[in-house]
A = this chain, B = another copy of it.
Amino acid sequence: MSTRPARSKRATVHDVALEAGVSRGTVSRYVNGERYVSAAARDAIEAAIAKVGYVPNTAARNLVMQRTQAVGFIVHEPHSLFVDDPNIGSILLGANTELSQADHQMVVLIVDSDRDTDRVARYLTGGLVDGVIIVSARADDPITRVVERLQLPAAYVGHPPGAASSAAFVVIDNLGAARSITERLAATGRRRIGMIAAALDRDSGADRLAGFTAALGDSFDEALVEPVPFYSYSAGRDGMRRLLERAPDLDGVFAASDAVAAGAIEALRASGRRVPQDVGVVGFDDSAWARRTTPQLSTVRQPAAGLGAEAARLVLAQLREQEMITERRLDTEIVWRESA
């Protein structure tokens, strides 16, 4: 233990000006790289800055400039996202790369409690960011409302059910992709195909179920659909267990995400079934999970980093007051491995 030294007061433009024997305006001009500053002034200012240890105060600059060059990135449901869904990391990195190139700072804000909700809402209204990217928003979320009310430039990753149409969204075709992979699974000769359907209160979850239903057509059997609350490993494992009790003759499963599929495989193995010999399993996301299961998953590749990057582009466009794109749909792709 030791006592921390009192933090010395920070030098300001004023101090630099005094030290250099010029005016604050000139210092400001130098700092911002404008022309019209003489060599003599420049030298004096540089020396002064070094001497007094000046660093610009961004907060003050933001206040007068009325912009922050910062974009918020809001993460809801952090537990399921961070712990079970490696996609969130890729989305973050994709968005960060894009914002970084535009010289904007990405600040990610986590919403993990009611306290967080209020505080983050205040943060957004407080003029600390110019815009915001939101993943896994819910319809009547306070954050969403605040964004709406302030008309804060925003882009959603995924389409929150019932969201106002004035916002920008970047999505994938969940329905079409779910339909395609279900058809592909059926094409392997499976007769009794079930689905572990997650997060039906979100568009992504509902659409994946709709795609599954559409693919099966007449052979669709409602009893083979097991709804689970989250896109998580444990939800998949538990859901698979219940489904097997109801339908022990199952020979194929579409899991709503790779994490769910991994849990399902675990439950299948525990029940003595072999994958893919006895039961074929397909997932969704092509997240890091897909290559970690044994056998590796056949799944739908979702361009996670691309989703983040595109969302970033959508808010940057709004900041530039360009035409607003309201929806951007990214392509998916089926990757066929060994689990079916």
Give the Cβ gap from A320 to chain B, nearest Cβ, in Å. 11
Q: Mark A75-118, 1 if CB is under 8 A from B, else 0.
A: 00011011110101110110011001101011111101101100
Give the Cβ gap from A163 to chain B, nearest Cβ, in Å. 15
- Identify which of B5, B97, B115, B292 contacts A262 (C-beta below 8 A): B292
Residue pairs across A and B with Cβ atoms less than 8 A apart, 29 shown, are A1-B325, A1-B326, A2-B323, A3-B323, A4-B151, A4-B153, A4-B318, A55-B150, A56-B126, A58-B122, A58-B128, A59-B127, A60-B127, A63-B63, A78-B89, A78-B92, A78-B93, A79-B93, A82-B86, A82-B90, A82-B92, A84-B288, A86-B86, A92-B110, A96-B116, A100-B112, A103-B115, A103-B119, A294-B294
- Identify which of B88, B110, B288, B326 contacts A2 (C-beta below 8 A): B326
The closest CB in chain B to the CB of A101 belongs to B115
Contacting residues, chain B, for A93 (C-beta < 8 A): 78-79, 82, 110, 112
Do B127 and A113 touch across chains, with their CB atoms under 8 A apart? no
| Contact of A271 with B by CB under 8 A | no
List of 6 A-B pairs having minimum Cβ-Cβ separation, nearest first? A58-B126, A82-B89, A108-B108, A59-B127, A4-B324, A55-B125
| Contact of A222 with B by CB under 8 A | no
Report the count of interface residues on A (CB-CB < 8 A): 75
Give the Cβ gap from A32 to chain B, nearest Cβ, in Å. 13
| Contact of A23 with B by CB under 8 A | no
A61 to B122, CA, bound (A): 12
Contacting residues, chain B, for A58 (C-beta < 8 A): 122-123, 125-128
